[in-house]
Amino acid sequence: MRADRIDPEQAFRAGLLGLPLHAALAPRGLAEAQAGFAHGPNEETALATHRLPGLRDPQAAYETGRALRYIARLFDRARAPEHVGRQFRDNLAAAILTHHMRHTGRPWTVEDTVEMFMELYTRVLGGGDAEGEIVRRRILQHAREEPRATTPAAARARSRLIRALRGSRAASF
């Protein structure tokens, strides 16, 4: 599969939803109507984002989607109110669009997204360089790795576990 055949907006959305990059080539249908499970209000705000205008490179768009969702999860873990995630997403959209309008010759990358977050992180939390570098590396690592596909055996085991838990819950009441 050639990544340059993928629409950057579809690649961004696939990254945001935690799908593999090649899923952006899949035929659209009702599957997009299902939203990913959000663990908190900031992640829910991120998942509500359908596009970020100005993204040109499909791989970079995909990684930016994955980074945005991971950053939203960090906000949720820190118990940041929903408006913090919304403001970050809006600032990110403005930065991407401005970068695109400047015709710099290079597309927006996940490193640019992470750098925006790190500016916020150091401004709010301070933190040392070593601590900030750990956060930066972890976000980049998450953004660049492909999500693991669920194997049929793992899905069956999970399904059996859920059935067993439901059965035991019903029996305990």
Residue 171 confidence (pLDDT) above 80: no
Residue 116 confidence (pLDDT) above 90: yes
Q: Kindly report whether the global pTM for this prediction surpasses the value 0.85.
A: no
Name the residue among 123, 124, 120, 121 with its Cα closest to residue 132: 121
Q: How confident is the model at residue 20 (pLDDT cuts 50, 70, 90)?
A: confident
Residue 110 confidence (pLDDT) above 90: yes
Domain coverage including residue 161? 3-172
Q: What pLDDT is recorded for position 32?
A: 52
Q: What pLDDT is recorded for position 1?
A: 47
What's the number of domains the chain is made of? 1
Show the DSSP H helices in 27-79 as ranges.
41-47, 58-77
Helix (H, G, I), strand (E, B) or coil at 82: helix
> Who contacts 41 (Cβ-Cβ below 8 Å, separation ≥6)?
76, 81, 82, 85
Q: What percent of the chain has pLDDT over 70?
A: 73
Phi then psi for residue 36, to 5 deg, are -70, 160
pLDDT average, residue stretch 134-161: 74
